[in-house]
């Protein structure tokens, strides 16, 4: 036998194995785990806050406008940060707006910072 004939026999054997593997895979019964229509994990027994956060996450852009979602997110932040209910602020702190930059020299250093000293030729 020459090399060309051995290569053909090898190729036929590989194709035959692929066909046998495909037939075996197709003859197996379908698993229910691969079904796309299966419901998600049960919410029973979970923390009600987790269920509410999951609901709010599914709302999309309407979530930030939903009052119950705002309360759930505030409670989640309070738990995460370990704050007590009495010490937690009722509204977020507001910070003053930054001062506008002057239009005359927007990239200059402030006047209080001295310019670096340049040593001329010694």
pLDDT tens digits for 5-49?
A: 999 999 999 999 999 999 999 988 876 555 555 555 555 566 788
- 77 assigned to some structural domain: yes
- 36 assigned to some structural domain: no
Token couple for 32: 């229910």
From 73, 65, 119, 66, select the one nearest 92 (Cα to Cα): 73
Tell me if 71 sits within 8 A of 64, measured CB to CB. Answer: no
**Distance from C-alpha of 56 to C-alpha of 63, rounded to nearest angstrom:** 5
pTM of the entire structure?
A: 0.35
Q: Which domain, by its residues, includes 57?
A: 45-85
Q: What residues have CB less than 8 Å from 102, skipping those under 6 apart? A: none
- 108 assigned to some structural domain: no
Q: Give the single-character DSSP code of 65.
A: G
- 57 assigned to some structural domain: yes
- 29 assigned to some structural domain: no
- 20 assigned to some structural domain: no
Q: How many domains does the chain have?
A: 1
pLDDT tens digits for 40-91?
A: 555 556 678 888 988 898 888 888 899 999 999 999 999 889 887 665 455 4
Please indicate whether residue 81 or residue 122 has the higher confidence score (pLDDT).
Answer: 81
- 65 assigned to some structural domain: yes
């Amino acid at each position: 036998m020459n090399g060309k004939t051995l290569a053909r026999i090898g190729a036929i054997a590989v194709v035959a194995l692929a066909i046998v593997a495909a037939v075996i895979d197709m003859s197996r019964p379908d698993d229910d785990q691969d079904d796309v229509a299966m419901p998600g994990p049960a919410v029973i027994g979970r923390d009600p806050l987790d269920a509410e956060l999951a609901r709010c996450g599914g709302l999309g852009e309407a979530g930030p406008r939903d009052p119950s979602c705002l309360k759930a997110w505030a409670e989640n932040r309070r738990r995460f940060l370990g704050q007590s209910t009495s010490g937690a602020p009722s509204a977020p702190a507001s910070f003053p707006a930054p001062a506008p930059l002057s239009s005359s020299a927007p990239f200059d250093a402030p006047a209080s910072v001295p310019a670096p000293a340049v040593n001329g030729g010694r």
